Every structure is written in C-alpha cells, then in structure tokens.
Amino acid sequence: MPTPKAPESLTYEAALAELEQIVQQMEDGQLPLEAALDLFERGMMLARHCRDRLLAAEQRIEIILKSADGSVITAPFAPTGDDADNE
C-alpha cells in the first residue's frame, strides 16, 4: 500500500474525497482495531486540513471584500441554484 500524501500537499477537494473514503471504510465496520485507529488518525488530519483551507478561503474573501476605509463588507451566504437543493 503506498504511503499517503501529507494532508498539506493535498487540495481541499482531494483531502475531502479521501476523508469521505475513510468514513465509508470505518462505517463498514470490517476493519481490525489497529487499521481503524490508523484511519481515524488520518481522517482527523484530513479534517483539520480541510478546516484550515476553508478558514484561509474565508480570510481571503474578507480581504477581497474590504472597503476602501478598511471595514469588511459581510453578508450571509445564501446558496443559489443547485447548491440550495442539496440542503
């Protein structure tokens, strides 16, 4: 089995896809304890990485939305189109 990439080297999408695979494997309940613990640890690293990437994206958006006087223009996220159907 190849060594998994460090979470920091993965895109958000790749980390999320791997995290989803880990969740599926763990939900199956067919893993030995050590393998389940290893996957849990990997999943936590991936979840932290995804959270960090989302926080960084939020900070970038706030910087982009800053007005000329330095105040941040904020508005609640309102999904549109297909995104709204997924809730």
Summarised one tens digit per residue, pLDDT across range 31-61 is 999 999 999 999 999 999 999 999 998 888 8
Q: Where are the domains of the chain?
A: 7-85
pTM of this prediction?
0.70
The pLDDT of residue 85: 45
Mean pLDDT of 57-72: 77
Cα 6 to Cα 15: distance, rounded to the nearest angstrom: 10
What class has domain 7-85?
mainly alpha
- SS3 state of residue 71: coil
Contact 73, 67 (CB under 8 A): yes
Is residue 45 exposed (0-12), middle (13-18) or buried (19+ Cβ within 10 Å)?
middle
73: left (phi over 0), alpha (psi -120 to 50) or beta: beta
